[in-house]
Amino acid sequence: MRQLRVLVVDDDADIRNLIQAALQKDYEVMTAADGAAALEVLRTQPVDCVVADHMMPGITGVNLLTATRDVQPKAVRILVTASERVEDLRDAVNLAHVHRFISKPLRVMDLRALVAEAVRANLLEEENARLVVELREKNDMLARALSAVQEQERRLERQVEERTRELRAANAELEQLALRDGLTGLYNHRFFQEALTQELARGARYHTPVGLVFLDVDHFKNYNDMLGHPAGDKLLKDLARILCNTGEIPEISFRGRMGDIPARYGGEEFVIVLPQTPKDGTIVRAERLREAVASFPFPGGNVQPGGRVTISVGVAAFPDDAINKQQLIECADQMVYLAKRSGRDQVRVWGRDRPLTTTAR
C-alpha cells in the first residue's frame, strides 16, 4: 500500500518548509509555490490531501481548492487562512467544498492533528462509499439469484402441476381401462357385475324396476371361420356402436338412453342394464335392438345363415322375475338359450315364454 501523499501550496517558502517538516514523518509531502504549479501536480499525480494558503497571488487558495474538487474530487481539501471575513469562509464552503480550515499563525501540533483527522475521515468516507457500492452490487446479485431461484421454483411448480395432471389423466385412463373391454370399448364383465348390484340395490330402496337385456350373436363361429378373426372383431365393435347409440349415429335405428349400461359379458355375449325401466319397456327396447342389428350392413353379413347378422335376445326384469342379481342374470341367460333353440333372431322373455313356476338356478 502506497504512502499517503499531501500537496502543500503556499507562496511563502518558510511556511511551506514548516508544513512539510511537520507532515513528512507520516506522509509523502510535495510542495508548490503557487496555484498554477499546484494544478500541474494535481493533473499528473494522485494526491490524497491538498493544504493551500488562502491568500496567494494569481490563483487563490479557494480557487485552487475549487479546481482540485474537479481534478481530484477524492482529495481532502484544507484551507489555511488568516481571514475572518464571512464571505471568504462562505466561498470556501460553497465553491471549494473545503473539508477543514486552519488559522494562522500555524501551530504544528494542531496542523498535524487536523490533517490526520481529515485524511482519516475522508478515507472512512471513501471506504463507506466503497462498501455501499459493494453492498449494492451484492444485493443486486442476491436479488438476481433470488429471482432465478423463484423462477426455478415456479418452473418446478409448473412441472409438478403438469406431471400431476398427466398422472391424474393416466390414472383416469387406467381406471377406464380397468372397467372397459379392450376390444369394443364397452364396460367389461367386472363393471357390469358391480353396476347391476348397485342398480338392484337402488331399485329395492326406491321401489323402481330394473330391466336386463342379454344377447348373443347368432352363428358367430361361422362368421369367424368364413371371414377370419379380424372381421369377427370388427363385427363385435360395430355391435358395440349399436348398443351405445343414443341418437348420435342416425343410421342406427336403435336408440338407447344416457343412463343405460351396455357391457360385454364375454366372447360374443353382451348385456344392457336398464335402470328404472319396467318389464314392458325392456321388451320394447330388446325388440328394437334385435331389429337394428338385423338391418345393419355388417361387412360380409351375407355369409351367415339367412344372409345377415342376427342376435338372440333374452329379457328379464327386477322385481317381476328375480329379486337378486344372480337370479336375474340366469333368467335372462336362459331366455337367450331358448331364443337360440327356437330358431335365433328373436327375443324371448322370462315369464312370457316360459312358465312362471320355473325358477332360476
User: Is pLDDT of 360 > 60?
Assistant: no
Long-range contacts of 337-341 (CB under 8 A, 24+ apart): 338/314, 339/312, 339/313, 339/314, 340/216, 340/218, 340/312
- Domains 5-128 and 189-349 equal at CATH topology level: no
What is the pLDDT, as a whole number, of residue 95? Answer: 67
User: Is pLDDT of 21 > 80?
Assistant: yes
- The CATH superfamily assigned to 189-349 is Reverse transcriptase/Diguanylate cyclase domain (3.30.70.270)
Q: What is the pLDDT of residues 282-334, one digit of tens each?
A: 999 999 999 999 999 999 999 999 999 999 999 999 999 999 999 999 999 99
What is the pLDDT, as a whole number, of residue 176? Answer: 65
Q: How confident is the model at residue 119 (pLDDT cuts 50, 70, 90)?
A: confident
CA dihedral 287, 292, 294, 296 (to 10 degrees): 180
Query: Exposed, middle or buried by CB within 10 Å (0-12, 13-18, 19+), for 11?
Result: middle
> What is the pTM for the complete model shown?
0.55
- The CATH superfamily assigned to 5-128 is Response regulator (3.40.50.2300)
Q: How confident is the model at residue 121 (pLDDT cuts 50, 70, 90)?
A: confident
Per-residue b/e over 227-247, b at no fewer than 16 CB within 10 Å? beeeebebbbebbbebbbbee
Task: Kindly list the domain boundaries of the chain, sorted by start residue.
Answer: 5-128, 189-349
> Which of 22-26, 196-200, 251-255, 258-262 comes out lowest in average pLDDT?
251-255
